[in-house]
Structure 1
Amino acid sequence: MHGEPVRKTRLSNQQGFALVITLWVMAILGVMAASFSYEALCESKVESWSSQDRRAYNLARGGIHRAAGVIRKHARDPVHSITDKWFSGQSLYKDVKFGPGYYSIVSSEIDHSKKINKEKVLHYGLVDEESRLNINVATMGQLQGFPAVSNVLASNIVYFLTKKRGNSTKGAPASVAMAKGQVDGPVRSLDELLQVKGMSRDILYGSSGGNGGIAQHLTCFSSGKVNINTAGKEVLHAVGFSNGQVQSLLAYRLSGWKGFASVNAALSVLGATSNNAHIAPFLTVKSKNFTMTCLAGFESGKFVERITARISVDKNQLRFTRWESESLPRI
């Protein structure tokens, strides 16, 4: 009589155990299914981002080549002036619709770890390397023309350049390279100047709360000559012009002036004396090297790709001498 209830109890226990096992198996299968689904979703998203990255790169690349076409078009102009419309401007270089998206050509070096989409940090157009002083041919007197550079620091920079030039077996002497229209100096990056005794990052690149450093007025890739029609007042003063001559030149620009046709014409108009004769070899009225940064994306003002390129113009040839690309964080 007692055997039947015992058998029923055992059967009930077995059924309960089987039910628990079944529930666990279903739960595990559910987790596995969810995991596979999540992985598939992630892979799909990664593949989508990868495809978008390729499209964004091609978009930015197209923007660079279109800007290079503008440079090619004006390469033979007898004069290159900062007042030329093709040098800069939002109408030509901001949020240009191209294929599936937009691109902008900006002339400012941007810290992409910060909020890059704020328009106030962007300046649209090309960077003229000849508007800057080439550090590889700069003299001590020219370096002292920058307010942040003392005579001791200028001397240390010249010593550093001389030492590097002596240790380098590459490139022709700066004077020979300038005559050929391209300086191949020992300093290939302005970051190298941080090795100079007395040089600080604040002097070179500026502090967050102050003015920009001297790097914004320097280059290590140019013909070695300064374009008097595009250089800023700091560079013009460093090259050797007096404050009065610089102010006169800036006044010409404000009047809608199209640029000096020759270095001799500029020196004559600015009232240059025999004291200025030594700066003539450092001057030109045309530019041969340009740097640009193209920001591209699929929505106006939202960038997902960046390409920085440098272009060198030599007679009928145009060649890229720098090409750096990176995908930007999706904000």
Structure 2
Amino acid sequence: MSLWTILILSLLVSGMVYEMHIQSGITSYSRKRLKAQAAARGGAEYAKFLLAKSFDTSAFEEADLEKESFRVLSKNLERGIAVTGIEVEMGESTARVDILPEAGRRNVNRLEDEDWEELLDQAGVPEESWPELIDCFMDFTDDNDEHGLNGAEKDDAFYKEAGYPPKNVPLDTVDELLLIKGFTKEIVYGGPPADPRGEPLRGIAHLLTTFGDGKVNVNTASREVLLTLTSGGKMMDEWVVDDLIRLRMGEDELPNTKDDGFGSVQEAIRQSGMDPALADKISVSDRTFVRVVSIGENHGVRMGVWAVFEVGRNLVTPIYWREEQMQ
């Protein structure tokens, strides 16, 4: 056998071995991806279990085999308190689960002008843009074709070019903000400003929801959301917000423990020093709609589930569900 023949055969064999190695890697990755996806879904089901148990914590407490941590988590959910960072093991896979009442966000359909101003300020949107954004939102969602001072209705060039009119009803999802004149991806989700000399925009989508009665659950709202609450045109002082966040974690200042959360709106106001005029804008126990984030992982491959559930005594119903691979 000539040297060239041996060389060619060696190359062919090497190529086949390499291809088999690649195929094996693809198969292994796909298997890990499926297991990570199953873990993420399992984490979401675990969240549903805790939410269902939160309506019957007395029976849950009497079960001898249940762990104390389960009881604490269910009781906190019963009181409308977020639980975060729950680790759920499923064989070789794990899921990290957050259960967050939607009332910890601002309902975009119930914001007043002063709320919008604080929200846009938090996002780093230049103040000169606020009047147009606010009026365009109002024109898009109100039930008439009357123009706001700085707004836009169906006769505006923006909507004619876009090929659709204003919706004239409340938004169904926060993503629909992108349909409104002036609301760019950078304003909604964050990104570089229109003026390259300006600061990056921080986005507003993560502060908003379309669910709930508009009251903010101060037991679970983020610092950014709390800073958008206004009374008489004045935002909450930062020191009040910082104290509120510290106090709602209880004496141990640890999350997911049995001393978490304020028991009433009055208690939250009294302990934190917030303006009593905010009493009608806040809650401490709303869990009618709950956001669940479950990240499943298997040997470094991660898949995520983002869901919103409507929670009732006898039923936990998914009303939004999204899955995607994590980077």
Report if TM-score (shorter chain) is over 0.5: yes
Q: Secondary structure at the match of 1:304?
A: strand
How far apart, CA to CA, are the structure 2 residues paired with 1:194 and 1:245?
31
Q: What residue is the counterpart of 2:60 in the other structure? A: none
Q: Secondary structure at the match of 1:88?
A: strand
CA contact (8 A) 2:309 2:319 kept: yes
CA contact (8 A) 1:310 1:322 kept: yes
Deviations 1:100-142 (A, max 9, x none): 122223xxxxxxxxxxxxxxxxxxx333321111112323342
Residues 35 and 247 (structure 1 numbering): CA distance in 2 closer, same or farther, change over 3 Å?
A: closer
Q: Please, which runs of 5 or more residues in structure 1 have no aligned partner? A: 1-18, 106-124, 174-184
Residues 156 and 260 (structure 1 numbering): CA distance in 2 closer, same or farther, change over 3 Å?
A: farther
Identity among equivalent pairs (%): 22
CA contact (8 A) 2:80 2:286 kept: yes
Residues 249 and 239 (structure 1 numbering): CA distance in 2 closer, same or farther, change over 3 Å?
A: closer
Report the TM-score, using the length of structure 1 for normalisation: 0.62
Deviations 1:233-255 (A, max 9, x none): 55445454354588657535533
Residues 295 and 230 (structure 1 numbering): CA distance in 2 closer, same or farther, change over 3 Å?
A: closer
Larger radius of gyration: 1
Q: Secondary structure at the match of 1:310?
A: strand
Aligned residues: 260
Report the TM-score, using the length of structure 2 for normalisation: 0.62
1:294 equivalent to 2:257? Answer no
1:189 equivalent to 2:164? Answer no
How far apart, CA to CA, are the structure 1 residues paired with 2:222 and 2:267?
19
Q: What residue is the counterpart of 1:313 in the other structure? A: 311
Q: What residue is the counterpart of 1:134 in the other structure? A: 107
1:198 equivalent to 2:193? Answer no
Q: Secondary structure at the match of 2:110?
A: coil
How far apart, CA to CA, are the structure 2 residues paired with 1:258 and 1:328?
32
The offset of 1:313, in angstroms, is: 0.8
CA contact (8 A) 2:33 2:298 kept: no
Q: What residue is the counterpart of 1:88 in the other structure? A: 84
Q: Secondary structure at the match of 1:231?
A: coil
How far apart, CA to CA, are the structure 2 residues paired with 1:27 and 1:127?
63
Q: For the aligned residues, what is the CA RMSD?
A: 3.9
Aligned residue type for 1:45: G
Q: What residue is the counterpart of 1:258 in the other structure? A: 261
Q: What residue is the counterpart of 2:118 in the other structure? A: 145
Q: Secondary structure at the match of 2:48?
A: helix
CA contact (8 A) 1:311 1:318 kept: yes
The offset of 1:160, in angstroms, is: 1.8
Q: Secondary structure at the match of 2:80?
A: coil
The offset of 1:80, in angstroms, is: 1.6
Q: Please, which runs of 5 or more residues in structure 2 have no aligned partner? A: 57-74, 146-164, 193-198, 251-259
Q: Secondary structure at the match of 1:287?
A: coil
CA contact (8 A) 2:35 2:298 kept: no
Q: What residue is the counterpart of 2:41 in the other structure? A: 61
Q: Secondary structure at the match of 2:118?
A: coil
Residues 265 and 235 (structure 1 numbering): CA distance in 2 closer, same or farther, change over 3 Å?
A: same
Q: Secondary structure at the match of 1:58?
A: helix
Deviations 1:192-246 (A, max 9, x none): 3234333344433334764622222211344544324333455445454354588
Correspondence 1:1-331 to 2 at 5 A: 30-75=10-55, 79-81=79-81, 87-89=83-85, 92-93=86-87, 96-105=88-97, 125-146=98-119, 147=121, 148=125, 150-162=130-142, 185-190=170-175, 192-207=176-191, 210=200, 212-232=202-222, 234-236=224-226, 238-241=228-231, 242-243=234-235, 248=240, 251-255=243-247, 256=250, 258-261=261-264, 272-273=276-277, 279=280, 285-299=285-299, 302-328=300-326
Moved more, 320-329 or 59-68: 320-329
Q: What residue is the counterpart of 1:3 in the other structure? A: none
Residues 54 and 238 (structure 1 numbering): CA distance in 2 closer, same or farther, change over 3 Å?
A: closer
Aligned residue type for 1:193: L
How far apart, CA to CA, are the structure 2 residues paired with 1:271 and 1:295?
38
Q: Secondary structure at the match of 1:136?
A: helix
